[in-house]
Amino acid sequence: MADDKDQRILELQLELERIKAQGNLQFDAYQTVLTRRYCSAAMSELFSQRSRIGIWRKLWLALAESERALGIDNITIEALEEMRSHLYVTDSDFETARVEEKKRRHDVMAHVHAFGIVAPAAAGIIHYGATSCFVTDNAELVIMRDALDILLNRLAKVIWNLSNFAMQWKEEPTLAYTHLQPAQLITVGKRAAQWVQDLMFDLKAIEQVRSDLRFRGAQGTTGTQTPGFQGDASKCDQLNALLCTKLGFPSCYDISTQTYTRKVDLIIANAVAGLGATAQKICGDIRHLANWKEIEEPFEASQIGSSAMAYKRNPMRSERVYSLARELMSKPANFANTLSDQWAERTLDDSAIRRMDIPDMFLLSEAILLGLDNITDGLVVYPKRIQSRVQEELPFMVTESIIMKLVAKGASRQDAHEEIRVLSHQAGSVVKNEGKPNDLVSRIKGTEFFKPIWDELDGMLDPKLYTGRSVDIVERYCGVGGPVEIKLVPYMKYITETSTAELSV
């Protein structure tokens, strides 16, 4: 009892020293902007050292339990009970490991030692039959699996936001753009549905890598699966089956070297980085729409758009997401280089870069999704402005219909095209050189060639006549019984329970 009391006093002293030393750490030491500003507590904690080393301890416990179940009798019940009682890694444990690692220059063995200090009955069997990659690689797979689950929920929420937005604005005609020049009309909802489809592709890709994720298990030092059963291959298989069950994986990868193949990291990175490309596309569109004053991201009553120009409403959320997406899209190159540079059964030059790139990849992607959730949950539409811009271009939009009607009444298609071409360029010159409204309709009404369709011309100026099947497309994709509704069924509990309070700043 005295030893327990002394241990607890030591832990409290270390905790007080840590609080005192780190009281202003956020101001005195560099911290990643992702955890400090943009990510959720859940994702930050998942990649924390306490989480990671806690998973190591769970892996050591699962290994010892499984080995005992398979006949290794020197692993005692007392040892297992002590390990179970100390799965949480205290500050004192970290201090013990820090001192040990400084001496041994090996992080895994430092934490084996620290675990053995608090679970002395297990000190001799912790890490039995394992390699460093048993804990490091398997823990990485556990963390990435859980991180993918967070991303899938976040992504589903963004899709749900935009799908609802698309349905709300499915009938509102708006200018489409090809080559960033006005083109045939679509609807506000149709454009949002285009964004939704890209996000649905991302959801499918990330679901696929999540579904394909496997465990490394206990594979020996070079993947030959000899963890100490005197050559009994069946027990090797049983051990890995037990480990998969305990850690929640369907199975192990068929072949490993000292590590699980780094191809897995690259496959995950490609899927997750694809989300970055989609996010940049969406936010780029929103930034253009904000410039044209058609659609804006949410802007709070007391928000400052510019420190110098008080009138401005800069799309800072979309710009932030756009910027984070640029960094996320760069990640696959690092994972590809790491894979290609793993000589033979493994080299350690994968270690340091993966310590940065794996957390960064997931923190970036979550920051992007939180930003998109914030943006898409409150997009502001200005119908009058949209209608005004449509009217500026609508006379040009009706010219194809005018040609078709003239031909139906006996005119030459080529003659009609030439007459329209000449008048269109004249009207365009008035807009560009004189700054006046588009007067193409007036010119058509004043040109005898077009007399056969004069009576029909005003009726041809309804923008909804030129949005094609936009409404139908949105309804079929985003509406009841459509692909979006079906795909989001597994995520609806998360979507309906998520509060906007947890969204990024």
pLDDT digits (tens, 9 = 90+) for 166-210: 999 999 999 999 999 988 899 999 999 999 999 999 999 999 999
CATH code of 437's domain = 1.10.40
Q: In this structure, are 212 and 65 located in the same domain?
A: no
Q: Which of 85, 251, 306, 442 is catalytic?
A: 306
- Phi and psi, residue 184, nearest 5°: -50, 145
Closest CA to 116 of 100, 129, 130, 139: 100
What range defines the domain where residue 40 resides? 31-130
pLDDT digits (tens, 9 = 90+) for 282-306: 999 999 999 999 999 887 666 656 6
Q: In this structure, are 363 and 489 located in the same domain?
A: yes
Q: In this structure, are 147 and 290 located in the same domain?
A: yes
The pLDDT value given to residue 246: 97
The pLDDT value given to residue 503: 46
| CB contact set of 144 (below 8 Å; sequence gap of 6+) | 213, 268, 358, 362
Q: What is the dihedral of CA 345, 349, 350, 356, to 10 degrees?
A: 170
Question: Which amino acid is residue 46, in one-letter code?
Answer: L
Number of domains in the chain: 3
CATH code of 84's domain = 1.10.275.10
The CA R_g of the chain, rounded to the nearest whole Å, is 31
pLDDT digits (tens, 9 = 90+) for 363-418: 999 999 999 999 999 999 999 999 999 998 898 888 888 999 999 999 999 999 99
Residue 19 counted as domain residue: no
Q: In this structure, are 142 and 275 located in the same domain?
A: yes
Distance CA 225, CA 370 (A): 42
Residue 40 among the catalytic residues: no
Range among 90-99, 128-137, 142-151, 302-311 with highest mean pLDDT value: 142-151
Residue 71 counted as domain residue: yes
Residue 80 counted as domain residue: yes
Residue 327 counted as domain residue: yes
pLDDT digits (tens, 9 = 90+) for 308-351: 666 667 788 999 999 999 999 999 999 999 999 989 888 888 88
The pLDDT value given to residue 136: 95
Residue 384 counted as domain residue: no
Q: Cβ(122)–Cβ(96) under 8 Å?
A: no
Q: In this structure, are 306 and 344 located in the same domain?
A: yes
Q: In this structure, are 201 and 313 located in the same domain?
A: yes
Q: In this structure, are 491 and 431 located in the same domain?
A: no
Q: Model confidence at 499, in pLDDT bands (50, 70, 90)?
A: low
The pLDDT value given to residue 224: 86
The pLDDT value given to residue 501: 44
Q: In this structure, are 330 and 366 located in the same domain?
A: yes
Q: What is the H or E stretch that residue 74 is in? A: none
Residue 234 among the catalytic residues: no
Q: Is the pTM of this model over 0.85?
A: yes
Q: Which of 179, 211, 234, 302 is catalytic?
A: 179
Tokens standing for residue 247: 């850690």
pLDDT digits (tens, 9 = 90+) for 47-82: 999 999 999 999 999 999 999 999 998 999 999 999
Q: In this structure, are 161 and 208 located in the same domain?
A: yes
Residue 302 counted as domain residue: yes
Secondary structure class of 468 (helix, strand, coil): coil
Residue 76 counted as domain residue: yes
Q: In this structure, are 492 and 402 located in the same domain?
A: no
Q: In this structure, are 291 and 208 located in the same domain?
A: yes
Residue 328 counted as domain residue: yes
CATH code of 356's domain = 1.20.200.10
Q: In this structure, are 332 and 448 located in the same domain?
A: no
